[in-house]
Amino acid sequence: MPSHTPPSIARDNHYVQQALLRRWSVDGNNLWVYRTLVSHAHIPEWARKAIRGIAVQNDLYTVFSGGQEIDDFEQWIQREYEDPGLEATEKIVTGGLLTPVEWTAIQRYVAAQDLRTPLTFKEDMERWKTLVPSLLNEILKDLANEAKRFQAEGVTHTQRLHPTPYSDFVRAKVRPSPDELSTDGTLQLSMRTGRKFWVVSIRQRLIDNANIICGQRWSVIEPYGDEEWPLTDHPVVRLNYYRLGQYDFKGGWGNTNSELFMPVSPRHLLYVKVGSKAANRPSASKDVTRRLQRFLVERAHRWIFARQKFDWVESIRPRVVSQEQFVTEQEMWKKWREEQLALEKSW
């Protein structure tokens, strides 16, 4: 009998497509990179790096399910969002006319790129620290109210299970009353987050909400003169701009007046202001170009990519020089698969 060979898994997960990065490369293999965190001050501000080794993290999306590791999310997001979106953006770069279907593919591509980066994971984990306890409390309140209603109606048994994609991450435990004669108990709920929960949440947010981002009219902005747009390891910016010098990056796909943008080449930036209409291909003034470049660089996590070295980046985004922080972060990623796998196996 032939032995069963497990399917190969794509462990080197590029959270920014190599094909997109090549648009910032002169030779198709390398580009200029600026790191926002370095271990020593003597490290050059800009360096040439091979595309295959940047914006990539091993097992970023690989999860343990059904007794084995799988990478179906990587395949799904590439098939449904990345490949159609990148193919459609090629028309933007070459000046072609896009069909409504191609515009939809581009908008879905932006939505996927917004959610799939390590920076999003970091921010989601912080958000869930506050969100999950309040969510579980709301669930407990709803269950308590429902139980009281059933008791009042004389209902002795009911089954009201409505599984969701997040159901597998919730555990319920009943703690018996310390009074041995009592039949009462205390229901406790817990939810475990981490890589698998994040991957499921990305898929669900795209399925449920990508149509919101597709309901807007997007523009393509070219920079002033011979300026170029930088690309980063978190390419999508969701900006709330209040007034000169007052803004944040907490904009939403459907929030009126939030500005969303992402470069798809050094000379082409996808842009939309939610709830507004703009010209299809406006050229940015020098001032607007500088502001958009600033926002892109400020929103970067650890990498900024360019076709040429930008001297102005250091003044906007000074590097953090810390051997301790650099080593700690590198060690965290080295242990990533081992720790996440253990967490997923134990749940």
| 181 lies in the same domain as 37 | no
240-244, 267-271, 280-284, 305-309: range with lowest mean pLDDT: 280-284
Predicted confidence (pLDDT) per residue in 272-324, tens digit: 999 988 777 888 999 999 999 999 999 999 999 999 999 999 999 999 999 99
| 84 lies in the same domain as 228 | yes
Domain limit, last residue, from 191, 209, 226: 191
- H or E segment at 127? helix 118-153
Q: How many Å apart are CA 233 and CA 222, to the nearest integer?
A: 21
Q: Is residue 253 part of a domain?
A: yes
| 292 lies in the same domain as 310 | yes
Domain limit, last residue, from 191, 206, 235: 191
Predicted confidence (pLDDT) per residue in 176-215, tens digit: 656 555 555 566 677 788 999 999 999 999 998 877 878 8
pLDDT for residue 158 is more than 60: no
| 160 lies in the same domain as 201 | no
Three-state secondary structure call for residue 92:
helix
Domain limit, last residue, from 174, 191, 208: 191
Task: Tell me what pLDDT residue 224 has.
Answer: 97
Task: Tell me what pLDDT residue 3 has.
Answer: 38
pLDDT for residue 9 is more than 90: no
% residues pLDDT > 90 (the chain) = 71
Q: Is residue 19 part of a domain?
A: no
**Cβ-contact 315, 293 below 8 angstroms:** no
| 263 lies in the same domain as 317 | yes
Q: What is the mean pLDDT of the chain?
A: 88
Alpha-carbon distances of 201 from 125, 211, 294, rounded to whole Å: 11, 16, 30
| 55 lies in the same domain as 150 | no
Q: Which residues pair with 265 in a beta bridge?
A: 268
Q: Which residues pair with 271 in a beta bridge?
A: 219, 261
**For the chain, first and last CA: distance in Å?**
34
Predicted confidence (pLDDT) per residue in 97-123, tens digit: 999 999 999 999 999 999 999 999 999
| 109 lies in the same domain as 200 | yes
Query: For residues 224-250, b (16+ Cβ closer than 10 Å) or e, as one string?
Result: eeebbbbbbbbbbbbbebeeeeebeee
Q: Which of 6-15, 19-28, 143-152 has the highest mean pLDDT?
A: 19-28
Report the length, in residues, of the chain: 347
Contacts of 190 (CB under 8 A, 6+ apart): 136, 170, 171, 173
Name which of 45, 47, 37, 50 is nearest 311 in CA terms. 45
Q: Is residue 15 part of a domain?
A: no
**320-321 vs 37-38, strand pairing mode:** parallel
Q: Is residue 183 part of a domain?
A: yes
Q: How buried is residue 208: exposed, middle or buried, by Cβ count under 10 Å (0-12/13-18/19+)?
A: exposed
| 272, amino acid identity | V
| 171 lies in the same domain as 274 | no
* Confidence category of residue 5, pLDDT binned at 50, 70, 90: very low
Q: Is residue 202 part of a domain?
A: yes
Domain limits for position 161: 130-191
What is the tally of structural domains in the chain?
2
Q: Is residue 1 part of a domain?
A: no
Q: Is residue 116 part of a domain?
A: yes
User: Nearest 10 degrees: CA dihedral of 179, 181, 183, 185?
Assistant: 10
Task: Tell me what pLDDT residue 161 has.
Answer: 47
| 52 lies in the same domain as 150 | no
Q: How many Å apart are CA 294 and CA 270, to the nearest integer?
A: 16
| 210 lies in the same domain as 97 | yes
Going by the DSSP 8-state scheme, the letter that residue 98 receives in this structure is P
**Cβ-contact 88, 113 below 8 angstroms:** no
| 186 lies in the same domain as 109 | no
